[in-house]
Chain A
Amino acid sequence: MAFDAEAVIRTAHLARISLPAAEVPAVAEQLERIMEMVEALRNVPTEGVGSMAHPLDLEQPLRPDIAQNPDRREALMQNAPAARDGLFLVPKVIE
């Protein structure tokens, strides 16, 4: 099971991380070694074993439908890289 350049590029695009072309082979090799370590899992017998998504065997708590959050726009947007008139700004998106 090879983690080749194409897999790296495809995965990087899904994750929205741009990798310089020069880095791809090294990253592919590292990821392949990690996947090799992980491969051993596939041989563990798990017939009929349940899936453990969570350490807690609890149920979802529910919250009452009561508005509580005041307008804190300024504080919450203070770290915005680009904002104007209360809007976050990004380069124009064409749909």
Chain B
Amino acid sequence: MEWEVVIGLEVHAQLNTATKIFCACPTVFGAAPNTQTCPVCLALPGALPVLNAAAVDKAIALGLAVNARINRRSVFARKNYFYPDLPKGYQISQYELPIVGQGQLTIALADGREKVVGITRAHLEEDAGKSLHEAFPGQTGIDLNRAGTPLLEIVSEPDMRSPAEAVAYLKKLHALVRYLDICDGNMQEGSFRCDANVSLRRPGAPFGTRAEVKNLNSFRFLEKAIEYEMERQRDILESGGKIIQETRLFDANKGETRSMRSKEEANDYRYFPDPDLLPLVFDEARIASVRASLPELPDAKRDRFMQQYGLPAYDAGVLTASRAVADYYETVAMGVDAKMAANWVMGDLLGALNKAGLEMESCPVAAEKLRTLLQRIGDQTISGKIAKDLFEMIFAEGGEVDAIIASRGLRQITDSGAIAGLIDEIIGANPQQVADYRGGRDKLLAFFVGQVMKASKGKANPDQVNALLREKLKA
């Protein structure tokens, strides 16, 4: 009998506001410990929280992007527990009345189908500080620079039914928050963290007991952790055991999850509305203002690319996976063949970036430059092959397209007389092959083309070479 896995994901996205959610401390990553603190985020006696407007707007933006209900009135609540990286002894979060309600995210599955994943809610809360366990022997060091950074906790419905679906959802959400420019999505630095709730059930049966795997900070880890959980839980269930509802950590080295020691043990958070903060209320005007400032969202952009540039769904999907790539492509595609531009961006450019370990944001070849290069192919100035060499040159060393074509003499040879001359030379130098070709070995054409190209240092126009060769080789 089959088991069906049920997966729900909770994502904590750090909002890229300039200041923390409840105080005016900067949120720059990597500062010296405790240099980005103040009485409020250090929880000194008498300090009070005041809400950051930008955090509210970014939460609204996410809500609009997932077609969620935006709650005009939401309330902050205290989640009470003791931990050294939680200076107040409570986290200010939202409990019964979050800012964003029910929404949804459509994901594309490998077989081309689409699936709608429900989003239960999203709410604002503050991040905790950092505990450094290896700093000093027998002691843990606490750095509160991160304490108070705004988080948007996005909770999905338990709608996913495979590790692949979970990864697709997470990738889509990751791209979305970067599209919206509300979160930098840097999973290594912890600005986009994922907890997975995993359970098994017989198809059609009620949901089983779930385990929560915390703090997965890569798509691969998410996939592996779910796979491990599926196996672990299946083993338990099939031997007649029961799944314990607990929190687990993923050990990336071993590829396993293990139970977390008591941090969350029997925690009674005693939620109650925070009396230092009043209900968050805003009007249609605020929502309209955020809506007006939303960028074109990934799905809409993908559909437009298919329409406007005549690209197939796959290409459009790759080119709109990130806003930076999409913007780059559109600049390149201005006035050149859209499909050619797509192939070059998807293949040559992204390939080169990948190999060099670079993100689009640090791309050494400006979009206009690549466009110029493609235009030189289109107007027959250079051949496609030469263009690829030229691209690699510019990627590695910089330089201007036309300047390099001139200085290295890369212009394509299109003069039929010159080409004819080269062909005559090659024909003269290879009588045996000529005879064999005329005798029926058609495949030798490639040999002759190759020789001519070599003789012209790759610059002869291949189509002309081809056509003229066929003519001259006719018996």
Contacts and interface: CB of A to CB of B under 8 A. Distances in A.
Given A92-B133, A95-B263, A63 B24 contact: yes
16 contacts: A60-B51, A63-B24, A63-B50, A67-B19, A67-B25, A69-B38, A72-B37, A72-B38, A73-B34, A73-B37, A86-B32, A88-B34, A88-B141, A88-B142, A90-B139, A95-B263
A81 to B, nearest CB: 12
Contacts of A82: 139
A67 B18 contact: yes
Contacts of A26: none
B138 interface: yes
Interface string A46-87: 000000011010111111111111011100110000101111
| Size bin of chain A's contact surface | 35 or more
Nearest first, the 9 closest Cβ-Cβ pairs linking A and B are A87-B141, A65-B54, A62-B53, A68-B24, A86-B33, A88-B142, A67-B26, A59-B281, A71-B35
A42 interface: no
A1 interface: no
A87 B34 contact: yes
Interface residues of B, number: 52
A77 B278 CA distance: 30
B135 interface: yes
Nearest to A87: B141
Interface string B22-53: 01111000001111111100101000001111
B34 A77 contact: yes
Interface string B266-280: 001010010101111
Interface string B234-278: 000000000000000100000000001101000010100101011
Given A69-B26, A88-B34, A92-B138, A64 B39 contact: no
B84 A73 contact: no
Given A62-B56, A67-B26, A87 B142 contact: yes
A93 B82 CA distance: 12
Contacts of A69: 23-26, 36-38
Nearest to B26: A67
A54 B82 CA distance: 26
Q: Quick one: which of A58, A68, A93 has the most chain B CB within 10 A? A: A93
